[in-house]
Each structure stands twice: as C-alpha cells, then as structure tokens.
Amino acid sequence: MTTDVQGPERLATIKLIEATNPILRKRARDVGQSARPAAVIAAMREVLAAHQGAGLAAPQIGVDWRVFILADDQQPFVNPVIAERSAETDVQDEGCLSLPGIIVAVRRNLSVTVQAKGRRVQLRGMAARIAQHEIDHLDGVLITDRGVLLPDSGDAPRPEQQEKTI
C-alpha cells in the first residue's frame, strides 16, 4: 500500500518496507538537531492507520531515522533509548507489518522506561512490548531474530505425521 504525503518537506509516495529491504537490517541514524521530522511522522501515522498496526518505526517506510510511533500515543519517540527494563519478562506471539503473515514467539520485558527527545515515559504491558519491538527495528533487529523456542506441547504433528506437499 502506498500513501501520498502532503506538507512542506513533501516526501514522495510512501510504501511500507518489507523484511528483504536492507534498511531494516541496519541501525538507524539519530535525528539531528536541525532536522524537522514532522512530514515523516505524518507519513508514518498514515501508513500505521492504513495497515491497522500498533506501532511503526521510520525504517519501515524507508527513512533512516531513529523515530517510532505508537498507535495509542500521539507524541512520537525521537532518538529513543530504553533507559530502564523490568527484570520480569514474558513470551508472547508478535507479528510485524514488515513481515506479513509471520508470527513469532518473542520474550520481552514487562515494563520499560523509554527516554526520547523531549520525553521520558514508563510503559507497561502491551505498550512496553510494542516499544521494544519498534526500538528493535531502529537497531536493525527483526522479530525473527528474537524468536524463542517453546516447549513441545505434544499437540504438533511430528514430521512423519505431516502430509507432504510436492
């Protein structure tokens, strides 16, 4: 899906970047003091809404900046770092707009404090999980890199029981 961005900095047509694009595998650059990320953030909001996502990082639209947004938070996170993490973690299934159709079990901290330009926010639960996911994007890390193996429940068919498709 593409989104046309309006505004003074006029980005061209914006597309959601998929996992094969190398921008998703490198650490994004800090947003400089003189940068004006408003048009990028507006484009990110449009793409996030169009795909009904929970969060989006700038590299996911091809922008090499350390910026992410959450669907439930109007203020963007510019140059974010995780300042504090809870010791408690859990494993939950995660999907990613850049990896359509892929679900991976990922271990995350239950609570994090994110320090970003102009704000310091403590996040818990799903918001903490999403922020960690988006910061991973800013560091060139995908959910497939973080996947954990879960104990075998005995419910999954063994290879010899699965049908073979040719």
Catalytic residue numbers read: 134
pLDDT (tens digit, 9 = 90+) per residue, 78-132? 999 999 999 999 999 999 999 999 999 999 999 999 999 999 999 999 999 999 9
Residue 13's pLDDT band, with cuts at 50, 70 and 90, is low
Considering the segment(s) 2-150 as one domain, its CATH architecture is Alpha-Beta Complex (3.90)
pLDDT of residue 14: 80
Q: Are the C-beta atoms of residues 114 and 121 closer than 8 Å to each other?
A: yes
Q: Is the pLDDT of residue 155 over 80?
A: no
Give residue-wise pLDDT tens across range 38-89: 999 999 999 999 999 999 999 999 999 999 999 999 999 999 999 999 999 9
* Whole-Å CA distances, 129 to 73, 100, 109, 147: 14, 19, 7, 14
Domains of the chain, by residue range, sit at 2-150
